[in-house]
Amino acid sequence: MRNSLLTLLVILLFSCGKKAETTHPEPLPITESVYASGIIKSKNQYQVFPNVSGTIDQFFVSEGDTVKAGQPLLKIYNQVQELNKENAELTAYYSSFNSNQGKLDDALMAIGLAFDKMKNDSLLYERQLALKNEGVGVEIEYEQSILNYHNSKNAYYSSKVRYDDLKRQIDFNDRQSKKNFQISSTLANDLTVFSKIDGVVYSINKEEGEMVNTQTALAVIGDATEFELEMQVDEEDILKIKTGQQVFITLDSYPDKSYEGTVTEIDPMMSQSTNTFTVTAIFKEQPLRLFPNMNFEANIIIQTKQDALLIPRNYLINDSLVIKSDGDTVAVKTGLKDYKKVEIISGLTATDEITKPSR
């Protein structure tokens, strides 16, 4: 309170001896807005990164080219990746079912031979059994026929098991090698970088022959016709911002014209380096020609009153006091503000005359 009184005393002393400027509160419209600055970005604009590390082998596009989604942009050379693909292709060929059909044919032939031997031993066994039943057979030959028949029968069933095992193993190797080849082919295909969108190549940041990794930005691609306004809003103002609010924009490239836009998105994460939030808006009617990274300034409209009691902001002392023309100092309650005017909610009427304080 003492500081306020001293301030008023100094102002009154300096104002003595010359005629002070005066004014009356006026009922006028006022618009409160939040200032922001930013850059133009192409819609869907993104940085192109490689999927693998290596050397840039070839660019298929140049800056300014129009591209389609899925169109190749460049190719990375990685010798290890190429060799892995070739090795997987060779393994897939030699492990394929067709390449091992001969082994299966041999195993199938072995089954046939085992079956024929089992059938023959079965006939010999039946013959020895018949002779034995007639009492003319030799016991040792009968027992040998039984043994031969059992051995050949076991050999037949073993040959079938070996065939089934071999077929399963070949089938497994065939499918596994094909999968490995698909994986290697996919990794090899990652050497080619494709466009994600229909758009324009706005910049290329590297040259052929340069080493790059998955963290290297290679190019910038964005929409050719639609653009967005990306602006930074101070932490102290962000709670006033909502989607759908009106924005008035001035661009350095179009200094004599103002454009209207609408807030479409508010990034919920504050930048720790700048203490600002990123707010995105779109043009209601954008200029005929725009390019990414053009600078602009904007005013985001927070609130508008058509009939507010206004005084010039430079008539306020400490944002809460005014001096009447009779020398009395009165406290006022303020409302909306712009860069020139401030709304008086209470403390003054339209008939009051106030004096501009000397600074």
DSSP states along 78-108: -HHHHHHHHHHHHHHHHTSTGGGHHHHHHHH
What global pTM score does this model have?
0.57
**Which of 256, 271, 300, 213 has the alpha carbon at shortest distance from 32?**
300
Q: Are 8 and 317 in contact, with CB atoms under 8 Å apart?
A: yes
Tens-level pLDDT at each residue, the chain (359 residues) = 445 544 554 455 444 445 678 998 998 888 888 999 999 999 999 999 998 888 898 999 999 999 999 999 998 886 666 666 677 677 777 777 778 888 888 888 999 999 999 999 889 888 888 888 887 768 888 889 889 989 999 999 999 999 999 889 988 888 888 887 776 666 666 788 999 999 999 999 999 989 889 899 999 999 988 999 999 999 999 999 999 999 999 998 998 899 999 999 999 999 999 999 999 999 999 998 899 999 999 999 998 888 889 988 889 998 889 999 888 899 999 888 877 888 899 999 899 999 998 86
Alpha carbon 145 to its chain centroid, in Å, reads 79
Amino acid, single-letter form, for residue 293: N
Q: 46-78+191-222: which CATH architecture?
A: Beta Barrel (2.40)
State the pLDDT at residue 14. Answer: 45
State the pLDDT at residue 278. Answer: 96
Tell me if residue 151 falls in helix, strand or coil.
helix
3-state helix, strand, coil in the chain (%, to 5): 35, 35, 30
Which residues is 271 bridged to in the sheet? 276
Hey, how many other C-beta atoms are within 10 angstroms of the C-beta on 90?
12
State the pLDDT at residue 232. Answer: 95
State the pLDDT at residue 88. Answer: 66
Residue 187 to residues 84, 94, 209, 217, Cα–Cα distance (Å):
9, 21, 20, 20
State the pLDDT at residue 83. Answer: 62
Residue 34 to residues 28, 188, 249, Cα–Cα distance (Å):
20, 51, 12
CATH superfamily label, 2-43+226-355: Efflux pump adaptor protein, beta barrel domain (2.40.30.170)
